[in-house]
Chain A
Amino acid sequence: MNTLTIFRKELNSYFRSPIAYGVMAFFALITGYFFYIAVAYFVQMGIQSSMMGQSQPMNVNESVIRPLFGNISVIGLFIIPMITMRLFAEEKRTGTIELLITSPVTDLEIILGKWLAAVALYASILLVSLLSMVTLFMYGNPDWRPVLVGYLGLLLQGGCLLAIGTFISTWTRNQIVAGVAGFSVCLLLWVLDWLSSFQDSVGAKVVAYLSVLQHFDSFSKGVLDSKDILYYLSAIFIGLFLTARSLESLRWRA
Chain B
Amino acid sequence: MIKVEGLTKRYANHIAVDNISFEVGRGQIVGFLGPNGAGKTTTMRVLTCFMPPTSGSVRVGEYDVLEQPMEVKKRIGYLPETPPLYPEMEVGEYLDFVGRLKGLRGESLAKRIDEVAEKCSVTDVKSKLIGKLSKGYRQRVGLAQAIIHNPDVLILDEPTSGLDPQQIIETRDLIKGLAGNHTIILSTHILPEVEQICEQVIIIAKGKLVATDTVANLTSRLRGAETVALEVMPRSGAPLNPGEVQQRLERVTGVSRVFSKAAHDGVLGFTVESQQGQHVRPELARAVIEAGWNLNELHAVGLSLEEIFLELTGAPKQDVAAPHATTISAAGDNS
- A interface list, Cβ under 8 A from B: 2, 5-6, 9, 12-13, 16-17, 94-106, 251-254
A41 to B89, CA, bound (A): 47
B80 at the interface (CB under 8 A from A): yes
Contact (Cβ within 8 A) B102 A13: no
8 smallest beta-carbon distances between A and B, as pairs: A99-B84, A103-B101, A104-B73, A96-B84, A5-B100, A102-B48, A95-B82, A16-B88
Residue ID in chain B nearest A14 by CB atoms: B88
The answer, yes or no, to whether B216 is at the interface (CB within 8 Å) is no
Within 8 A of A (CB), among B42-89: 45, 48-52, 70, 73-74, 76, 78, 80-82, 84-89
Instruction: Find A102's partner among B50, B100, B103 (CB 8 Å cutoff).
Output: B50
Distance in angstroms between the alpha carbons of A12 and B52 in the assembled complex: 32
Q: How far is the CA of A101 from the CA of B101 in the complex (A)?
A: 10
Residues of chain A lying within 8 A (CB to CB) of residue B70: 104, 106
- Can you give 9 A-B contacts (C-beta < 8 A)? A9-B89, A94-B87, A95-B84, A99-B80, A102-B76, A104-B70, A104-B74, A104-B102, A251-B51
- Using A2-B101, A5-B100 as known contacts, say yes or no to A102 and B49 having CB atoms under 8 A apart: yes
Q: Does B98 contact A (CB under 8 A)?
A: yes
In angstroms, Cα B102 to Cα A2, docked, is 9
A-facing residues in B84-107 (Cβ within 8 Å): 84-89, 93, 97-98, 100-103
**Are B80 and A104 touching (Cβ within 8 A)?**
no
Q: Residue on A with the closest CB to B98?
A: A99
A90 and chain B: residue at smallest CB distance: B86
Residue on B nearest A103 in the bound complex, by CB: B101
Contacts of A16 in B (CB 8 A): 88
Give CA–CA (A251, B48) in the complex, Å: 12
Given contact pairs A5-B100, A9-B97, A254-B45, A103 touches B82 in the complex (Cβ within 8 A): no
Name which residue of chain A comes closest to B69, CB basis.
A104
What residues of B have a CB within 8 angstroms of the CB of A102 in the complex? 48-50, 73, 76, 78
Q: Which of chain A's residues have a CB closer than 8 A to the CB of B80? A: 95, 98-99
Cβ of A254 and Cβ of B51 under 8 Å apart?
yes
Q: How far is the CB of A87 from chain B (nearest CB, A)?
A: 13
Q: Are A251 and B52 in contact (CB under 8 A)?
A: yes
**B81 contacts which chain A residues (CB < 8 A)?**
95
Check B52–A252 contact: CB distance below 8 A. yes
Known: A9-B89, A104-B74, A252-B52; 8 extra A-B contacts, CB below 8 A, are: A17-B88, A94-B87, A96-B84, A98-B50, A99-B80, A99-B101, A252-B51, A254-B51
Q: Could you say which residues of chain A place their CB within 8 Å of the CB of B52?
A: 251-252
Q: How far is the CB of B145 from chain A (nearest CB, A)?
A: 7
Known contacts A2-B101, A95-B80; decide if A101 and B89 are in contact (CB<8 Å): no
Set of chain A residues within 8 Å of B50, measured between Cβ atoms = 98, 101-102, 251, 254
On chain B, the residues within 8 Å of A253 by CB distance are 11-12
In the complex, residue of chain B having the shortest beta-carbon distance to the beta carbon of A102: B48
Are the C-beta atoms of B82 and A94 separated by less than 8 Å?
yes
Complex Cα–Cα for A101 and B84 (A): 11
Nearest Cβ on chain A to B65's Cβ, whole angstroms: 11
What separation, in Å, do the CA atoms of A2 and B100 have in the docked complex? 7
Chain B residues, Cβ within 8 Å of A104: 70, 73-74, 101-103
| Minimal beta-carbon separation of A165 from chain B (angstroms) | 20
Partner of B84, one of A2, A5, A94, A251: A94
Say how far A100's CB is from chain B's closest CB, in angstroms. Answer: 7
Contact residues in A for B103 (Cβ distance below 8 Å): 104
Which residues on the B side are within 8 Å of A106 (C-beta)? 70
CA distance A101 to B70 in the complex (A): 10
What residues on A are CB-neighbors of B101 within 8 Å?
A: 2, 5-6, 99-100, 103-105
Bound Cα distance from A104 to B87, whole angstroms:
23
Write out the residue numbers on chain B whose beta carbons fall within 8 Å of the beta carbon of A95. 80-82, 84
Q: How far is the CA of A105 from the CA of B98 in the complex (A)?
A: 11
**Nearest Cβ on chain B to A177's Cβ, whole angstroms:** 21
Which of B45, B49, B89 sits near A13, CB closer than 8 Å? B89
Are A103 and B45 in contact, with the CB atoms below 8 A?
no
Chain B residues 224 to 261 lying within 8 A of chain A, measured CB to CB, are none
Once A5-B97, A99-B145, A254-B45 are accepted as A-B contacts, the answer to whether A94 and B85 lie under 8 Å apart by CB is: yes
In the complex, the chain A residue whose C-beta lies closest to that of B103 is: A104
